[in-house]
Amino acid sequence: MTETDVAIIGAGPAGLFAAFECGMLKLGCVLIDALDEVGGQCAALYPEKPIFDIPGHPAIEAGALVNQLEQQIAPFAPGRLLGRRVTALSGSAGAFTLRTDKDDQVTARAVIIAAGAGAFGPNRPPLEGLAMFEASGAVQYYVRRREDFRGRRVVIAGGGDSAVDWALQLKDVAARVHVVHRRAKFRAAPESAAQLDAAAAKGEIDMVIPYQLHALHGADGQLQAVEVADLDGGTRMLEADRLLPFFGLAMDLGPIAQWGLDLERHHVKVIPATCETSVRGIFAIGDVATYPGKLKLILQGFSEAAMAAHAIHPIARPGEALHFEYSTTKGVPA
C-alpha cells in the first residue's frame, strides 16, 4: 500500500520527465511500469540508437537519454514499482486507487497515464516451437547490445526500418547476416534501403528474397537453422543461431481501455492545454495521448509532462497558490 500525490503509469521518457516536473512543484510521485527497468521504448527497443531531435543534444543514444533523465529526477526520489502492470484504476480526483498485477495498491490524488503504446509487444511469427527458442534467447525481437551478436549467424526477417537498420548495424559484428523479406521493396527510409542494397552487392549481407519464415530447426532451444519458403512453396535452409523477426509492435492499451476514458483509435483523448483526460484528475501524456496535431515525439511528451504537472497542482494542493517560476530561480533540491 503506497500513498502519493501523483501516480505515474509508465516510466518511459514522458513518465520520467513527469516525475521531474511534479517534483519541481513539490508533488510526490510513484512511477509504475510493467517492465523491470525504466526508459520505455528507448530502453527496451533501441538503447544504442542515436536520437537526433532531443533539444540541446545534437545526438544522444536512447539509453544515455534515459540515464540522464534518471539523474534529473534523482533529487526528487520518486517511488518506483517496476515489473508491475497497473490493472485497475478507481476513485475520483483527489482520491484515486490503482492496483497492479502484483497486488500493490497505490492511492494518489491525481494520475498521469504515460503508458506509450500501452502493453506493447512484438508481433510474433507463427512458427512451431517458437517459445522454446524465445526462452533461450535464440529468437529475439529487440537488439539490446550489438556486441551480443558478435560472431553469430543472424537471420533478420522483415522489410521495415528496424530490419534494414539492424542488418546494417550487425553486418560488421555478426559472422553472417541474412535478410529475409517477402518482396524486393523495403518500407524503410530510402537512404537506408540504398545502403542495404550496396552492402548486399558487396556480399556483406545475404538477401533472401522473396521468402518468408517457414520453420525453426534445432534442439533444446539452440537454433541451428531457419527454414524459409518462397511463394511457390520451395524451401531453403539458412544456417543460423539467432533469429530477429521485425514485424512491428502490437499496440494494445490493455486495462487502460476499461477505465471509462474517452479514447480515439487506441489512444487516450486529452485537452491539449492541460493533458487532462475526459475524467477529472486523470491526465495522459506522451505517445498514449492524442489531440489534434499531436506528434509522437519524445520532446512533445516532455512538454506535455510540464503542462500536466501544473494542471495537477490545484487538484493535489487545493487552496495553495502556485506561482510560476523558472528552474533557474527555484533550483533543485541538493
Ligand X SMILES: Cc1cc2nc3c(=O)[nH]c(=O)nc-3n(C[C@H](O)[C@H](O)[C@H](O)COP(=O)(O)OP(=O)(O)OC[C@H]3O[C@@H](n4cnc5c(N)ncnc54)[C@H](O)[C@@H]3O)c2cc1C
For 321, counting Cβ atoms within 10 Å of its Cβ (0-12 exposed, 13-18 middle, 19+ buried), the class is exposed
19 touches ligand X by CB under 6 A: no
**Which of positions 57-96 make contact with ligand X (CB under 6 A)?**
85-86
For 241, counting Cβ atoms within 10 Å of its Cβ (0-12 exposed, 13-18 middle, 19+ buried), the class is buried
Distances (CA, A) of 76 to 27, 67, 95, 108: 9, 15, 22, 17
Distances (CA, A) of 184 to 180, 193, 207, 213, 248: 10, 11, 9, 15, 18
Shortest reach from residue 155's CB to ligand X, in Å = 20
Q: How many residues sit in the footprint of ligand X (CB under 6 A)?
A: 36
122 touches ligand X by CB under 6 A: no
Shortest reach from residue 286's CB to ligand X, in Å = 2
Host H or E run for residue 13: helix 13-24
Closest C-alpha to 238, from 226, 221, 223: 226
By C-beta, is 57 or 236 nearer to ligand X? Answer: 57
Region from 194-202, 259-267, 298-306, 323-331 binding ligand X, contact rule CB under 6 A: 298-306
With CB atoms as reference, the residue minimizing the distance to ligand X is 116
Q: Which of 111, 286, 290, 316 binds ligand X (CB under 6 A)?
A: 286
110 touches ligand X by CB under 6 A: no
**Which of positions 24-53 make contact with ligand X (CB under 6 A)?**
32-35, 40-42, 45-46, 51, 53
Q: Which residues bind ligand X (CB under 6 A)?
A: 9-15, 32-35, 40-42, 45-46, 51, 53, 85-86, 114-119, 254-256, 286-287, 296-299, 301
